Amino acid sequence: MEGTRVTAREIAKAVRDGADPGLWARPSGERAASNLWNAFRPFDRAAIEAQARVVNRAGRLAGVPVVLKDNLADEGQPCGCSSRILEGYVAPYTATCVARLRAEGAIIVGRSNMDEFAMGSSTENSAYGSARNPLHERRVPGGSSGGSAAAVAGGVVPLALGSETGGSVRQPASFCGIVGFKPTYGRISRHGLVAFASSLDIVSPFALDTRDAALVAEVMSGHDPSDSTTLREPVGDWVGACELGVKGLRVGVLVEGEGEGVEPGVLACVAEAVESLSRQGAVVSRVALPSTRLALAAYCVIAPAEAASNLARFDGLRYGPRAQASTLGDLYVQNRGRGFGPEVQRRILLGTFSLSAGWAEQYYVRAQRARARITADMESALQEVDVLVSPTSPTVAFELGARSRDPLSMYMADILTVPASLAGLPAISVPCGLSEGLPVGLQLTGRRCDEATVLRVATAATHSGSGPTA
């Protein structure tokens, strides 16, 4: 009600209780029996209350509850990447992005379920069971950040953090009918994000509104001495950019986003959104980028190669409960059933093979050449237009289990999001309508460090009569 004042503690309690008391860790350590959409990992109730008591009331996010993906470090809290191999591991420090949110008054109220080590497109690869889409519980919420997307789409929290490697925020945002915003690679520090593919990974927010996504990304962005890949370019006023409209902006519709495999209902929603942008004064044209057809193949070599290198540290000796094993017998007992899951094993094997002697030139080096070509072509196209437009995903959210036995069809869910990730360009998914009663996402990709223009177009698209569906 307008004029009503609430405290940060009241907000935190409402979120905690609204999510379902069974989600939260109990003093006895017993596992929660219930879990709304299986979107959450157990979290410490006392930690939430402690944050609410000392919230920065002058901050831009004062009292706003935020959920973290389970691969972001928060000192004193579990950070398990939804993997048995990290079960019991507690973060010894806080990720830079999380610290920046807290400095602005945000309250971290939970951790979300995810595909194990962020490897997947449906959040069905979690060691703790599949997450579900709040809009249709027999459908996936997307992945790998599906738990965070479900928390926002289900109305539990207004904001959540995920991580992007090849579309792991934009694709779940599309499936759940919310906003998922990936800034330029290097805008947000990776310090405290458990690495999957270091040349691709970036922390990214979910929100119900482009302005909220812009605010969270703006707060988290900026150079960090703890991460040498962070950019020094000024961030600017991304929230203000959302109000500037699209008159005179050049919008390029990707021909490759209309190809085989894209559902007719998805195409119809995207076409309607593009027409709306045209009515608002945007100049629309069609753009062909044939090299982007190489993107998924290149990604499926580069990302596993980097994952194989990054995950070599998880040898069962240094992290989780096995690190405290006193004898080899204890280690053997604790190791049973606690290794990597099938998808993580698959990608480590693929990555190791592609880097092996005699094959690196054939696979990894060629994939990097394809990446360079895709990046150059996208940057060249963005000299002629201000943003590139396509569907976020070729389909609406698919049914649980529908693709779990076919890795290739699962990887195809990211075919339209991967190019922006390989090129390190800013991109966003916003809801643009419904097909078969399920949300459709509109993807916008912009120039390096030109998040402001991407947000301008995204805001116009979501306030044109085809707004958020969650």
- In tens, the pLDDT along 402-412 reads 998 888 889 89
Average pLDDT along the chain: 90
Of the residues 144, 174, 276, 421, only one is catalytic, namely: 144
Catalytic residue list contains 69: yes
Q: Is 345 domain-assigned?
A: no
- Residue 143 pLDDT greater than 50, yes or no: yes
* pLDDT band, residue 57 (cuts 50/70/90): confident
Of the residues 69, 82, 145, 204, only one is catalytic, namely: 69
Q: Which tens digit of pLDDT belongs to each residue from 174-192?
A: 999 999 999 999 999 999 9
- State the average pLDDT over residues 286-293: 96
Which DSSP helix (H) or strand (E) runs through 53? helix 45-53
- Residue 305 pLDDT greater than 90, yes or no: yes
- Residue 230 pLDDT greater than 50, yes or no: yes
Q: Is 302 domain-assigned?
A: no
Catalytic residue list contains 247: no
Least confident span in 11-15, 98-102, 454-458: 11-15
Query: How many independent structural domains does the chain possess?
Result: 1
DSSP line for 341-404: -HHHHHHHHHHHHHTSTTTTIIIIIHHHHHHHHHHHHHHHHTTT-SEEEEESSSSSPPBTTSST
Q: Is 314 domain-assigned?
A: no
Q: In degrees, to the nearest 5, what angle opens at C-alpha 375 toward C-alphas 420 and 378?
A: 75
Q: Is 1 domain-assigned?
A: no
- Residue 470 pLDDT greater than 80, yes or no: no
**Domain coverage including residue 60:** 8-297+369-462
Nearest to 43 by CA among 9, 10, 19: 19
CB 63 within 8 A of CB 105: yes
pLDDT at residue 116 in the model: 97
| CATH number of the domain where residue 94 is located | 3.90.1300.10
Q: Is 76 domain-assigned?
A: yes
Which DSSP helix (H) or strand (E) runs through 161? strand 159-164
**337-342, Cβ contacts within 8 angstroms, sequence gap of 24 or more:** 337/84, 338/84, 338/85, 338/87, 339/84, 339/85, 340/83, 340/85, 340/116, 340/117, 340/311, 340/314, 341/83, 341/84, 341/116, 341/125, 341/127, 342/125
Nearest to 110 by CA among 168, 62, 51, 181: 51
- Residue 1 pLDDT greater than 50, yes or no: no
Q: Is 411 domain-assigned?
A: yes
Q: Is 200 domain-assigned?
A: yes
Instruction: Pick 36 or 64 by higher pLDDT.
Output: 64
Q: In degrees, to the nearest 5, what angle opens at C-alpha 119 toward C-alphas 87 and 229?
A: 95
* pLDDT band, residue 6 (cuts 50/70/90): confident
Of the residues 122, 145, 168, 204, only one is catalytic, namely: 168
Q: Is 318 domain-assigned?
A: no
* CA atoms of 164 and 148, how far apart (whole Å): 12
